[in-house]
Every structure is written in C-alpha cells, then in structure tokens.
Amino acid sequence: MNLSSLKTESYMNTHNKAPAKSPHNPLAHLVKTPKTSVANKLIVGLSCFAAATSFTVSSMNAQVSESTVTEDEKLKISFNGAPGEHYATERAESLKPPVNWTPFHSRKADSNGLVEFSDSLEQTQQFYRIRPGSIYPPLVYASENTGADYPLPVLPELADLPVVEPLTDPFEWSDGSGRSIEFADWSRRRAEIKAEIENYEIGPKPDRPSDITASYTDGILTVNITENEETLTLTSEIILPTGDGPFPAIIGIGAGTGSLPSDIFSSRDIAQITFNFGQVMAHTQSRGNEPINRLYPDLTYMGAYAAWPWGISRLIDGLELVQEDLPIDLEHLAVSGCSFAGKMALFAGAFDERIALTIAQESGGGGAAAWRVSETLGNVETLGATNFQWFKTSMRSFAGSNVSKLPMDHHELMAMVAPRALLVLGNPDFVWLADESGYVSCRAAHRVWENFGIGDRFGFSIVDGHGHCALPNSQRPEVEAFVEKFLLDIEEADTDVTIHPYETVDYGRWTEWWGTEDPVFPGDE
C-alpha cells in the first residue's frame, strides 16, 4: 500500500490536547468527540488522494479495528462495538466549528459486535464518526415520493434486457455501473426500481394534481381531484376513537381495516379510514372507461395497481388538507388489504412514503411472491397466469422463460417500502397464492432492511389452518406487534417476525450472486 499518497493532518479536540495517532498507522490521526456528546466515539480525519491506503478507527469503549481500501477503490471501515446495538455513521468535510455532520449510514452490530460501512474515495477531505444510536433511516416521510427529482434510469426493450435467472440485486444500479448498499443512495435506487415497475408492469402512477380540495363532515371525508377539466370524487367513511386526538390511522381497502379484525385497531384508539377503490377503477377494469381515465385519457394502458395506489395517495392528500377538522396523526398511517387488495396495499405502501406501516395480507402472485420463483412452482399465480386488467397488457411478454429478463422482481417491490415498516401475511393452504415464492421473496427483501440495520421493520408470517383473508388467532400477535411499534411507538413490541413452514427451502441460492457480476445460481458458474 502506498502510504505516501495519504495526506493527514493533526487536529485538536475540545480539550486542546493533541489527538492520538493510531498505533497501527502513524499517519492516521484519531480525534475524540467531547464527552458531553452523544457520540463519545473517535473520528478519523482523512484527505484521500489515492486509491490504496490503510488506517484505523476506534472508540472509547470498543476495540480498534483495521480499515482498508478495497479493490474497487472504496473506503471500508470495520468497527467493533456492542453486539446487537445500533450505530450511526456520519461524515463531514471539515472539523472547523460549526461542524456539519451529514448522516451517512446506520447499521446494527452483528452478534460479535462488528459494524462495517464503506464509502467512495473522494478527492476532498472527509471525516467520519461512529456513534451509538440510529438517527437514520427515518420511520416515515412527509412527501409521497422523495426520489421524484431523480432522472429516469435506462429502460431497455425486452430484446435488449439481459437474462438474470436468480433474483435481481436490489442494490445494483439499473445501468449496470455498480451497486451501493449505503442508505444515502437508497432514495435514488428506490426511484430506479419504481421506474422499472411502472415501465414493465403497471404503467405510470400519476403525480399529485395541483387542483385538490377536501372536506370532512359527519364522519365522511370527501376529496375532489381535478385534472384535464374533469373531477374525480373520493368519499371515505372514517371511524374516530373517543377523544381529541390526533389519532394514528389505518387505511383499509374496501373496509375500515381491510380484512383485519377491527378490534385490533379500535381497542388501541386507532382511526379507521375506508378506501373505496371502485371510485378510481373497478376490480376488473374496462380500459378507457374507468373514473380515473377521465382525468388521464392518455393512460388507458395503465394497470389497476397504478390507479388504485394513486387513489390512496389522493386520500392522504385529503387528510393533509383537513387537518384542522379531522384529528389524524399523519406520521402514523397504515394501509392494509387482502388477496387482490393485499397486492394493492403493497403497491400503495411501496409508492407512497407517507405510509408508515404496510400490512399485505395473502397477496400472492403479483404481490409479495417473486415472479421468477413462482415460475418454478407449478399451478400458482405466475406472471403469465395473473389478471392483466391489474397490470399493463404488455407485461405478458415476460411470461414463461422471459420472466428472467425482468430487470426487477417483487422482492424489490417490497424493498421500496424500506426503511418504513412492512408486514407480509401468508396462507399456504391456498396453493394459488404461491407462498413458497413469497417466502423466498421475503427472505430476499429482508436483506435490504437488515443492511440498513433495521431488520425489525420487516416481518413475514406464513401460517396455515384458516380461511382466505381470515386472520387466525395465531397470527394476531404479529399484527398487534407491528401496529404497536409503528403506529403507537411502543418500542418494546417484538417485530422480529419470520414465521414460515419452509425449513427445507434453499432461499439463499436465489440471492447468493448478489454483490458479484455473475448472476447465476450456485453450481452453475
């Protein structure tokens, strides 16, 4: 390693004592944050002008760990903290007060206390600090789509798409230029996944129109959306708990809580909001003749899973407009539905970042299940066998063996919900739902939340012995835990939920290639 190419400078800490030099590398200077700071850790100050060097990061109550530059010219820092604890990393270009620390990464230490993060080497000076706790990633956002300003990714035609037989890598850029596991890049990557799903599966979900009005009277929320000189009206019955609020709320598809038992929510003072999806598009659309088509006559090719989530987003717009009259806590909104409405809930939660908790119940093919995996299972809802009124008809070109040419799959649809909370409920008694595929897909999606150190914000429970869309008592604890943690902020609620009957299924073979440039199954190299 060419240590001469690394420029380092000494800095003083708040006690005006010279910072200690690393015993492993005298060119790396360690700066201690004030004892009064929540960080109470050590900072590495660097000016990087080359691709290869080595330095050290440490802390007051953790072991010193070696840090290196990888072959792909990324800075990699390993930190030994407390097992299971969350750590946030931040960076700054200067230590001159006031220091502008930018949240960069958050991760949970593994069972050995190891925390690792990486960053691209820059030609400018960079400082890093690791501190306990997690300010990042947030639980919910104030805007519908935080990645709206990113340019569209490359969207090739079918003939030009590469074959990827295992599950696609959710961290890989669409243009194939590399991948990033850093949370700072997730908004951009999420925007790419959104664009791919819209382009190849459902059509564009229209943006929020500028002309929206809303009112709340006698328990009914009315939202009027005007576009193209046409107005679409949504009405929603709202059940409010007793008291002044503001109340967390669930948007239930077709009923106040979807297909979930209402007492789970009423007993916890959670408001219930019904989404009447037929006011936007019928269950089986007549293309060009649906209410939404009056507003967007050029989008007759859109699938229902672009239209219905648009309607849920407009309902949330209405809630924002009537805050003085309707006491809903807009930072604690959930959405839920079952079967075709389970898919709807999943698309709605993926495409609107104002939704804090998504509960997708028995969503099957086109929902949590991955198209690629379902293709291997037999008589299940595969891409070629789904209802194409719900999707673009052109999606049919990916049926059969062409499914491996999809540039994304539904583990990435679920990943779009991250860093917010998602609970997936399955029922293997109904073979058509392809719950084995849903299980593999959930395992793959979970890695996104785990990578960001927030694995407890994603859970799945696949339980048999009950009717379709009839939540059994055995699944109530999972639902109640997610509701309590993400709608009521009860931190003690246990949302580490991975319940399934697929002990012999080798889900890892579908994702083992991630992080390499060779998308093949193990043994097929």
The answer to whether the CB of 125 falls within 8 A of the CB of 92 is: no
Q: Which of 115-124, 190-199, 222-231, 469-478 bottoms out in mean pLDDT, i.e. has the lowest? A: 115-124
| Least confident span in 53-62, 133-142, 324-333, 392-401 | 53-62
Look at strands 328-338 and 357-361 and give their pairing: parallel
Q: Centre a 10 Å sphere on the Cβ of residue 204 and count the other Cβ atoms it contains.
A: 15
d(Cα 139, Cα 153) in Å, to the nearest integer? 26
Measure the CA–CA gap between 25 and 66, rounded to whole angstroms: 10
Q: What is the pLDDT of residue 197?
A: 98
- Sequence length of the chain is 525
Better-predicted residue by pLDDT, 430 or 104: 430
Predicted pLDDT at 71: 65
The domain made up of 183-217+301-510 is a member of CATH 3.40.50.1820: yes
User: Which is catalytic among the residues 65, 67, 339, 374?
Assistant: 339
Q: Does the pLDDT value for residue 205 go beyond 80? A: yes
Please report, for the chain, the start and end positions of each structural domain, with discontinuous segments joined by +.
28-132, 183-217+301-510
pLDDT at position 130: 76
Mean pLDDT of 470-494: 96
pLDDT at 50: 27
Summarize the confidence of residues 307-311 as an average pLDDT.
98
Tell me the pLDDT tens digit for each residue of 117-133.
766 665 566 777 777 76
Closest CA to 137 of 399, 305, 356: 356
Q: pLDDT higher for 517 or 174?
A: 174
Report the pLDDT averaged over residues 231-260: 97
Angstrom distances, CA of residue 481 to CA of 328, 459, 475, 519: 21, 10, 10, 37
Q: So what's the pLDDT on residue 53?
A: 29
pLDDT of residue 83: 87
* Selection from 351, 512, 501, 352 nearest residue 438 by Cα: 501
pTM for this entry: 0.79
The sign one gets for the Cα dihedral 397, 402, 404, 405 is negative
Q: Judge if the upstream peptide bond of residue 26 is cis by omega within 30 degrees of 0.
A: no
pLDDT at 336: 98
Rounded Cα distance between 419 and 452, Å, is 8
Q: Once rounded to an integer, what is the mean pLDDT over residues 140-147?
A: 96
> What Cα–Cα distance (Å) separates residue 172 from each residue in 8, 75, 78, 178, 193?
33, 18, 22, 6, 10
| Whole-angstrom distance, CA of residue 106 vs CA of residue 133 | 8
DSSP symbol at 176: S
Question: Which residues lie closer than 8 Å to 280 by C-beta, 6 or more apart?
Answer: 232, 234, 290, 291, 292, 307, 308, 310, 311
Does residue 355 or residue 50 have the better pLDDT? 355
339 in active site: yes
DSSP label at 365? B
pLDDT at position 28? 25
Distance CA 370, CA 336 (A): 20
The reported pLDDT for the residue numbered 10 is: 26
Kindly give, in sequence order, each residue whose CB lies less than 8 Å from that of residue 13, ignoring residues fewer than 6 positions away. Answer: 19, 31, 32, 33, 34
CA dihedral of residues 214, 221, 253, 193 (deg, nearest 10): 20
Check pLDDT > 60 for residue 223: yes
Amino acid, res. 466: H
Q: Which amino acid is at 386?
A: T
Residue 116: the pLDDT is: 78
**Contact of 369 with 433, CB cutoff 8 Å:** yes
pLDDT attached to residue 106: 66
The overall average pLDDT reported for the chain is 85
> What's the distance, CA 430 to chain centroid?
27
DSSP at 362: S
Q: Which residues, 6+ apart, have CB-to-CB distance to 305 below 8 Å?
A: 201, 202, 343, 344, 347, 366, 390, 391
Question: Residue 506 pLDDT more than 60?
Answer: yes
For the chain, count helices (H), then strands (E): 9, 20
**What fold, for 28-132?**
Immunoglobulin-like (2.60.40)
Q: Taking the CB of residue 169, how many other CB atoms lie within 10 A of it?
A: 19
On the question of pLDDT at 31 being above 50, the answer is: no
Torsion from C-alpha of 303, 308, 313, 317, nearest 10 degrees: 120
Q: What is the DSSP letter of 160?
A: G
How many whole angstroms separate alpha carbon 456 and alpha carbon 490? 13
Judged by average pLDDT, the poorest of 46-50, 113-117, 497-501 is 46-50
Query: Residue 34's pLDDT band (boundaries 50, 70, 90)?
Result: very low
Q: Could you confirm whether 468 is annotated as catalytic?
A: yes
Joined together, the tokens standing for residue 211 give: 């002309």
How high is the pLDDT of residue 103?
59
**Token representation of residue 216:** 């709340």
Lowest mean pLDDT among 11-25, 148-162, 329-343: 11-25
Average pLDDT (349-373) is: 98
| pLDDT single digits (tens) 273-295 | 999 999 999 999 999 999 999 99
Q: Please list, in sequence order, all residues whose beta carbon lies within 8 angstroms of the beta carbon of residue 473, skipping any fewer than 6 positions away.
A: none
* Residue 61: per-residue pLDDT: 37
What percentage of the chain has pLDDT greater than the value 90? Answer: 71
Give me the pLDDT at residue 129, please.
76
pLDDT digits (tens, 9 = 90+) for 48-107: 322 222 333 333 333 334 456 666 666 777 778 888 777 777 777 777 777 766 656 666
- Rounded CA gap, 14 and 32, in Å? 8
User: Residue 179 pLDDT > 90, yes or no?
Assistant: yes
What is the rounded distance in angstroms from the CA atom of residue 389 to the CA atom of residue 284?
Answer: 6
Alpha helical stretches, state H, 368-464: 371-374, 410-415, 435-451
pLDDT number for residue 49: 28
pLDDT higher than 60, residue 29 = no
SS3 329: strand
Given the residues 24, 283, 466, 468, select the one marked as catalytic: 468
Which H/E stretch holds residue 518? none
**What's the rounded Cα separation, in Å, for the pair 332 and 343?**
21
Q: Which residues contact 459 (CB under 8 A, 6 or more apart)?
A: 422, 423, 424, 478, 482, 495, 496, 497, 498
The pLDDT of 472-477, averaged and rounded, is 97
